[in-house]
Amino acid sequence: MAEKKDPSEIEIIGFDSIESDKYDRQKRIRGWDQKKITNARIMVIGVGATGNELVKNLVMAGVGTILLIDYDLIETSNLNRCILFNAKAAKKKKYKVDVVKEACRILNPDVEIITIKEDLNNIDKDLYKQYDVVCSCLDNIEARLEANNYAYYYNIPFIDSGIDGYFGTVQAVYSKMQTSSCLQCGISNVDLDLMWRKFSCTGQEIDSQNGETMEKMATLITTTSIIGGIQTQQVLKFILGTDYFDKYKKWNPKIGEPLVGKQLNYNGLTNKFNIINKIKDPNCWTCSFIKENE
Ligand SMILES: [Zn+2]
């Protein structure tokens, strides 16, 4: 009869290499390609509540390069929902992008973080071309539409998110899905004026000026982490699946289809998600007019 071995003496072949690869468990997902994740360059506009969740997820998944655009300073009132901020930084009123960059370095030093402390209006528009996916995590409709328009023009996938208390939305835009709507679709100047005054996704009237909210919105960490998670999932679908879509004009079933032309709505009161198709406006000056004139 063979002598029983002490379990600590049993050699597990390859154990070291499996446990020393921080991406081992995600590499086990069907269709996953860590090289694509490592080579990916993502632009994130706005690093508030949802931006924190999105960036944290992208960094932990090992996305190679992330550009953060935000000129805001951290306030103590941000600390209930922003995992990458801290009380010391709030006390010193540090720039959000600087503090997020430092926190990301600790989370995953493999990731390169680039920061810009500027209004989106002032950035060099050629920057868009250097990124694979553009994300907006803003409460400013004017900036969201600007990001939508440039991303569309340069054929870069764009993912927008919005939150309001227990409610949240995620919508994706991709110019190579030409029959799908963009964020600008169906928005007239009258609508824009109304949205600047009351743009909340619950329809609640909020004072604002030039698309910037004047009144502080209700925000909750559960909603921001759910919406930030879903927005991250869209980024991963584009990183892993855009090559396949561009080649075969359909999404790789192993990766799944992103929410292009669709709006996912989350309702934390009823515990329900629903997805609505956004109708493309044949007169939309972003996704109809530009392409027809190319
Ligand atoms: Zn459009």
pLDDT in tens, 179-231: 999 999 967 676 676 655 544 445 455 555 555 555 677 889 999 999 999 99
**Is 12 among the domain residues?**
no
Q: How high is the pLDDT of residue 191?
A: 63
First-to-last CA distance in the chain?
A: 80
- Would you report the helix, strand and coil content of the chain in percent, each value rounded to 5? 40, 20, 45
Distance CA 134, CA 42 (A): 6
C-alpha 245 – ligand 1 centre gap (Å) = 20
Residue 133 lies in a domain: yes
Query: Cα angle at 182 between 178 and 187, to 5 degrees?
Result: 130
Find the 187 Cα to ligand 1 centroid distance in Å. Answer: 8
What pLDDT score does 9 carry?
57
* 5, part of any domain: no
Q: What is the CA radius of gyration of the chain?
A: 21
For residue 238, report the distance from its CA to the centre of ligand 1, in Å. Answer: 19
As a whole number, mean pLDDT of residues 154-179 equals: 96
**Model pLDDT for residues 78-112, shown as the tens digit of each residue:** 999 999 999 999 999 999 999 999 999 999 999 99
Q: What is the pLDDT of residue 279?
A: 93
What pLDDT, on a 0 to 100 scale, did the predictor assign at position 142?
Answer: 86
Q: What's the pLDDT at 201?
A: 47
- Asked whether 48 and 72 are in contact (CB, 8 A), the reply is yes
Token look-up 């963009």 returns: 182
How many angstroms is it from 247 CA to the middle of ligand 1? 23
- Residue 280 Cα, ligand 1 centroid: separation in angstroms? 6
Residue 22 alpha carbon to ligand 1 centre in Å? 40
In this prediction, residue 224 carries a pLDDT of: 97
Mean pLDDT of the chain: 89
Does residue 116 form part of some domain? yes
Q: Is the pLDDT of residue 139 over 50?
A: yes
Return the CATH number at 262: 3.40.50.720
Residue 67 has pLDDT above 60, yes or no: yes
User: pLDDT class for 292, splitting at 50, 70, 90?
Assistant: very low
The mean per-residue pLDDT over the stretch 120-147 comes to 94
Burial 50-89 (b: 16+ CB within 10 A, else e): bbbbbbbbbbbbbbbbbbbbbeebbeeebeebbbbbeeeb
CA of 76 from ligand 1 middle (Å) equals 38
135 secondary structure, DSSP code = E
- How many angstroms separate the alpha carbon of residue 261 from the centre of ligand 1? 9
- Mean of pLDDT values over 132-155: 94
**Does residue 237 surpass a pLDDT of 90?**
yes
pLDDT at 20 over 60: yes
How many angstroms does the Cα of residue 285 sit away from the middle of ligand 1?
Answer: 7
Total number of domains constituting the chain: 1
Per the domain annotation, does 187 fall within a domain? no
CA 160 to centroid of ligand 1, rounded, Å: 14
At 17 the pLDDT is 74
Does any domain span residue 190? Answer: no
In angstroms, what CA-CA distances link 104 with 66, 81, 132? 10, 16, 20
Residue 294 has pLDDT above 80, yes or no: no
Cα 95 to middle of ligand 1, angstroms: 33
What's the CA-to-centroid distance between 290 and ligand 1, angstroms?
A: 10
266 lies in which domain range?
31-176+217-275
- In angstroms, the CA 216 to CA 213 distance is 7
